[in-house]
Amino acid sequence: MTNPETLALQVLTSGPVYRFADWPNPEVPNWRAGVYTVWDGPTFLYVGMAGRGLAPEAHLISEATSSIKNRGLRDRLRSHASGRRSGDQFCVYVCDRLVLPTMSQDDIDRVAVGLLRLDERTRSYIRDRLTYRFVVTGTSKEAHELEGMIRTSGLSGLMPVLNPAKTEG
């Protein structure tokens, strides 16, 4: 018998894959806590969690069922798909580590005078190249613990490129 943590790790490693280019994704549940992994082809880039502060049954309350507001996994992945760096650490990492190294000095000069926006480049990079997988967890505490475990130990021998856990040393 497979335990829930092992099943979650399998889904996050090799489960259904979704393209940010296809956002919004009706498969991503609203008002739910969970963990997600982000990939650039076979490269494991990032692991994140969503739903901090959501009650375990939040998706069942009247506010959730009648609201068009995104919370939890849907809100977090929507934010990443937007490419907006303000308030989104994942988008900052993508811009700093993956987009900026591809830019010419002319591009950087155009950013400096306001003729080119880094958010647009970041959004294009995310939508053109990146995919994600996700799992729903029962609580935000479970999501936080699973995310921490993956940041520390990786997935199938792969560590997240953009946000591995910091180690002493």
Least confidently predicted of 55-64, 95-104, 134-143: 55-64
Residue 107 resides in a domain: no
User: Which phi-psi region, left, alpha or beta, contains residue 156 (left: φ > 0; alpha: ψ -120 to 50)?
Assistant: left
pLDDT in tens, 45-67: 999 999 998 766 666 565 655 56
pLDDT in tens, 10-39: 999 999 999 999 999 999 998 899 999 999
Instruction: Tell me the percentage of the chain whose pLDDT exceeds 90.
Output: 81
Residue 67 resides in a domain: yes
For position 1, what pLDDT does the model report? Answer: 45
Residue 167 resides in a domain: no
- What's the rounded mean pLDDT across residues 150-156? 96
Q: Give the residue numbers spanning the domain of 43.
A: 4-80+130-153
- Look-up of token digits 């829930």: 4
Residue 99 resides in a domain: no
Total structural domains within the chain: 1
Residue 96 resides in a domain: no
Residue 10 resides in a domain: yes
Residue 144 resides in a domain: yes
Q: Do 103 and 121 form a contact (C-beta atoms < 8 A)?
A: yes
Residue 165 resides in a domain: no
DSSP code for 94: I
Q: Can you give the pTM of this predicted structure?
A: 0.92
